Structure 1
Amino acid sequence: MKAFKSKLIQFALSIFFFLCSFNYGYSQSEQITIDKSDTVIDCKGGYFNDGKSTYLVISSINTTNGWIQTKNITIQNCTIKGGIRILGLGKNGQAAGVKESSFSLGHTERAKAAAPTNIKFSNVIIEATDGLTPMYLAPGTTYVTVENCTFSGVNTGSGPVVYLDAESGDNTFRNNIFRTTVGREVLACDGSANNVIDGNKFETAAKGGIYLYRNCGEGGTVRHQTPNHNTISNNTFNLNGLSLGSYGIWLGSRNGNRNYCDDDIGYAFGSSIDNHDFADYNIVNSNIFEGTIFGIGQIKNDGQNNLINVSSDINNTNADNELKISIFNGTVVLNNLIGDTSIRVFDYTGRVLINKVLTNNILEFPFASKQIYFIYVSNGARTWIKKVIVK
């Protein structure tokens, strides 16, 4: 019966899969391409493609009359061995179609119109094999949702675990577990904007967690969009064994520090006129960093106008029983609270200085004078975040 079901699943998949023998030069994995909109794949807890190493490509269709955008793909309850790439104009920022489009204004809009959109992965295990980047969102990819997924295995390739390429945006990664061993940062946001990275657990981030940058000029392509207006919140990073010069979150990790940055000269826009990352106007809020001493290596902010530890999404006050905080000689006293209270103290850069549960609503902490702190308090169903200036 089990063998019969497996054959039946394979037959159903063949209805909307196009199997290819070529592999873009990345590996010898079997390539499966999905280009039909409104496709739902539910493995019901089993393996995708019988557990074989697979290069899963979700792509739009290029016709003589233009691109037919692939939309509304859902993949759920599967274990995928290999890597996933979602693409339109090209497989990466240096692809011929992407490069040609980048030489004129309107490139971001063209890339987004060609790339797949509204793609969802739910309860999927993605096990890195064969040197494939586990998940690659190629230029222009939008509205991809990855939730309750687990990234595992060892990435022996040169890429990160997740790559958000140029001109992509509006993607969401929520409540995922990243435990893939990788030789660089876990999640690269390369000229990608308006993404939400929330509630994820980065179990291994020794080479860095989330990096925002813009790959100026690589392959001669002009990068138009900057890594701006991204929200990184409520994530937990294990930074044990963090490499020197690496960070849990780095806003603006390159800023022209690559030898190919001038390969796109000659155009009056984008990275052709300025090689900086412009990792600006991002929100970094309520992230937890484990395994570091005195906050070393947690957040590096090389952008501008980034908001770190703002309270707009978590502030829930009660006017009739408002939290009151008093600080006396390094002792924090919380009033109007009943029962156990969870408290986190952040410095102005977003580093977590303390994270514990109080039983008596009193916390002793060596606050430095003339410094700004943010204190996040959770008591029952109520939460607050307070900005404290120590005089």
Structure 2
Amino acid sequence: MAPSIALAAPCTDEELTRIIAPVDGDDSLARVECDVDLTPLMTAAITRTLVFSGAASSGTSLDCHGGALGSAHAPATILIVSERIGSSSIEGLGIWDPVTDVTIRDCEIHGNVRIQGMGTGRWTDEATRSSHVPFGHVARVREAAPRRITFEDVTFVGLGGIPLYVSIGVQDTTVVRSYFTGRSNSTALYMDAESRGATIRDCVFDTETRREVIALDSSEENRFIANWISNLDRGGIYLYRNCGERSMVRFTPSQRNEIINNVFYYERYRGPYPGVFFGADDGFSTHRFCHQDLDYPYGSGADDRDYTRWNAVMQNQIYSRSPGEVLHTEWPVTNVPNHVEGNTTVTSAISRPSGCFVRDAHVPRFVPHGESVRLSTDGYGRPFESPVDVTCVDGDLDYASTPTLRPAREIAFACSRSSHNAGCRGEIVCPDGGTLAGARAACNLEWGSVTDAHLASVPRDMIQVVRTSDVGLEGRCWVGEEGTSGGELSILGTLGGSSAGFGCREHDRNGGDCEIRGIAHCVDP
């Protein structure tokens, strides 16, 4: 694992005095813009909310040397947030300065930590407004959110709130050798919409929760390695996509997550709540929010289902229960495929190195610690210039050399249909049996055409609907097996082989009109 980054200078005496000073009236915040190195006694003296905000706080660290922030009677809050510094060209949306590369080390936090960018998905906040703009939402909230926030040897003591909340769009959070305890009226760890790339490793989760221990709500490409997870009476790790809560459209499913070599500790509980639950919102929730984003015919506004796919659950130890009892998929029509293998029942935990999960040419594979494989593609199926040897080292992949992707040539594809509800279909075929490594497409699902400018503006591995049907869900366009009725949809990693279908349709009383145009990226054999 790469070491955490700290770039700031140590705090001066004046800066430390400001951080430790008692709360004075409404002045309850202490902004951190230096490396804070505390003794346990100094840590206990802090009563202010510590705020890491924007570029000025980037590269800073907080080391408590085992000291405790807050107490049961005076909860502590740490805010790691982006700073709004202006207005963007999109009405109602801002320009954000994210905080990056913050490390919190050896602290006992009685209270909660929030990592937050553009918003939390409230009715009127900016993240919700961004989701109502059809194109670019996922990229916007990720660019606006904090990145590379690291917690090392931290104890999170919940006092009712969520001990660690990773908000919308936050990327590359790392939590290692840490302990979650206390109580939460919700979860111990919540990873919200469009968040990505967290590593949670060598941690103990023993928080008493009223919900599942860990929630992945529209969060992707996270890794849970070698953790101990207990207090499972309300469930363990739930993967889902909340549908429309407070009118916020969620785009990204909880996909491509890795849950490897964890211990799920069932002491007495024998009830129905799963240890790992694929499609949890499809199953146990009341769906009371699903109607709130119906005005937006894309993402969860068009389809409430979870689509928790391509996740890996491997090498886990299930204490006193069988994997079949506690690893559960709800609605397998949409919440597959997931890769579940090598999970075993144990009566005592086995200390062992973690294996690794790889995908080569879309074929999933578990690699034990110490073993090597030769990969010909990246995890999305895009071919390398030449195969590369990779060794699994306790859950991390060690590449013998840095791989480069092979160049692709562009193949145009298109079809259209007027005054007919059947729509049109076609097939992308890469010449000479080459590999279909990706595509981009633009669709018009009402009268009109897709212009060259429309197509040129679509990012790679994306479908965009430049005009929706007048009755939003009556139109649809697709590439491969992925499609949408409006907005945009990522198709990264969903194509493979040498060919794929595409098409569009729109239903109208007088016959529907639609057009799809795209560019496929083919890699020669």
Q: Same fold (TM over 0.5)?
A: yes
SS state at 2:67 partner: strand
Q: Secondary structure at the match of 1:85?
A: strand
The AA in structure 2 aligned to 1:299 is: L
Residues 223-258 of structure 1: CA distance to partner in whole angstroms, max 9, x if unpaired? Answer: 111101000111001123436330111111112741
Matched, 1:38 2:56: no
Partner residue in 1 for 2:314: 285
Q: Percent identity?
A: 29
Whether 2:150 is the aligned partner of 1:120: answer yes
In the alignment, the residues of structure 2 paired with residue 236 and residue 299 of structure 1 have an alpha-carbon distance, to the nearest angstrom, of 13
**Does 2:76 correspond to 1:54?**
yes
Does structure 1 conserve the Cα–Cα contact (< 8 Å) formed by 2:183 and 2:207?
A: yes
The Cα shift of 1:376 comes to 11
* 2:327 counterpart letter in structure 1: I
Secondary structure of 1:83 counterpart:
strand
Kept in 1: contact 2:206–2:229 (CA 8 A): yes
Contact 1:42 1:78 in 2 (8 A): yes
Instruction: Label 1:217 to 1:20 Cα distance change in 2 as closer, same or farther (>3 A).
Output: farther
1:74–1:222 Cα change, 3 Å: same
CA shift in 2, pair 1:12/1:38, >3 Å: farther
Q: Retained in 1: the 8 A contact 2:219–2:253?
A: yes
Instruction: State the match for 1:300 in structure 2.
Output: 328
Q: How far apart are the structure 2 equivalents of 1:212 and 1:95?
A: 26
| Aligned positions of 1:209-248 closer than 5 A | 209-242=236-269, 244-248=271-275
Residue in structure 1 matched with residue 302 of structure 2 by the alignment: 273
For 1:43, give the aligned amino acid. C
Compared CA separation, residues 376 and 172, structure 1 to 2 (3 A): closer
Do the aligned residues in 2 keep the contact of 1:166 with 1:192 (CA within 8 Å)? yes
Q: Structure 1 residue 193: deviation in Å?
A: 0.3
Deviations 1:110-136 (A, max 9, x none): 11111100100000111111x211000
Contact kept in structure 2, 1:30 and 1:53, CA below 8 Å:
no
Residue 8 to residue 178, structure 1, CA distance change in 2 (3 Å): farther
Q: Within 1, Cα distance between the matches of 2:272 and 2:194?
A: 27
1:102 CA displacement:
0.4
Which one-letter code corresponds to 1:48 in the other structure?
Answer: L
Please give the alpha-carbon distance, in whole angstroms, between the structure 2 residues aligned to 1:178 and 1:9: 34
Indicate yes or no: 2:227 matched with 1:200. Answer: yes
The 1:378/1:226 distance shift into structure 2, 3 A limit, reads closer
The 1-side partners of 2:99 and 2:247 are apart by 28
> Hey, what's the Cα distance between the residues in 2 that align with 1:234 and 1:77?
24
SS, match of residue 140 in structure 2:
helix
Shift >6 Å, 4+ stretches: 375-379
Contact 2:123-2:248 within 8 A present in 1 as well: yes
Matched, 1:106 2:136: yes
What is the one-letter code of the residue matched to 2:49?
Answer: Q
1:70 aligns with 2:106: no
The alpha carbon displacement at 1:56 in A equals 1.2
Matched residues in 2 for 1:74 and 1:306: separation? 33
2:505 aligned partner: none
1:31 partner amino acid: T
> Residues of 2 paired with 1:356 and 1:218: CA distance?
41
Is residue 112–residue 163 contact of structure 2 (8 Å, CA) maintained in 1? yes
Change (3 A) 1:95 1:10: farther
Equivalent-residue separation in structure 1 for 2:121 and 2:154 (angstroms): 24
- Alpha-carbon deviations, 1:51-80, whole Å to 9, x = none? 941121100100125111111100001111
User: How far apart in 1 are the matches of 2:348 and 2:192?
Assistant: 38
Residue 120 of structure 1 aligns to a residue in which SS? strand
Counterpart of 2:165 in structure 1 is 136
Deviation of residue 44 (structure 1)?
1.1
Residue 164 of structure 1 aligns to which amino acid in structure 2? M
Amino acid at match of 2:68: Y
**Cα distance 1:376–1:100, how it changes in 2: closer, same or farther (>3 A)?**
closer
Looking at structure 2, the residues matched to 45 and 164 of structure 1 have their Cα atoms a distance apart, in angstroms, of 26
Letter of the structure 1 residue corresponding to residue 143 of structure 2: A
Unaligned runs of 5+ in 1: 1-6, 23-28, 310-345, 358-374, 384-391
- For the structure 1 residues 60 and 45, does the alpha-carbon distance in structure 2 shift closer, same or farther, using more than 3 Å as the test? same
Q: CA deviation at 1:85?
A: 0.6
Give distance in 1, aligned partners of 2:119 and 2:369: 46
Residue 11 in 1 paired to residue 17 in 2?
Answer: yes
Cα shift at 1:12 = 6.6
Distance between the aligned counterparts of 1:268 and 1:139, measured in 2? 21
Assess, with a 3 A threshold, how the Cα gap between structure 1 residues 20 and 84 changes in structure 2: closer, same or farther: farther
**Retained in 1: the 8 A contact 2:318–2:346?**
no
Give the structure with higher Rg (CA): 2
Name which of structure 1's ranges 87-96 and 187-196 shifts more when overlaid on structure 2: 87-96
Find the aligned partners of 1:31 and 1:378 in 2 and give their Cα distance.
42
Residue 75 of structure 2 aligns to which amino acid in structure 1? S
Contact 1:123 1:149 in 2 (8 A): yes
Q: Is the 8 A contact 1:134 1:162 kept in 2?
A: yes
Q: Distance in 1 between matches of 2:337 and 2:20?
A: 49
CA RMSD of aligned residues (A): 3.1
Question: 2-side partners of 1:286 and 1:199: how far apart?
Answer: 10
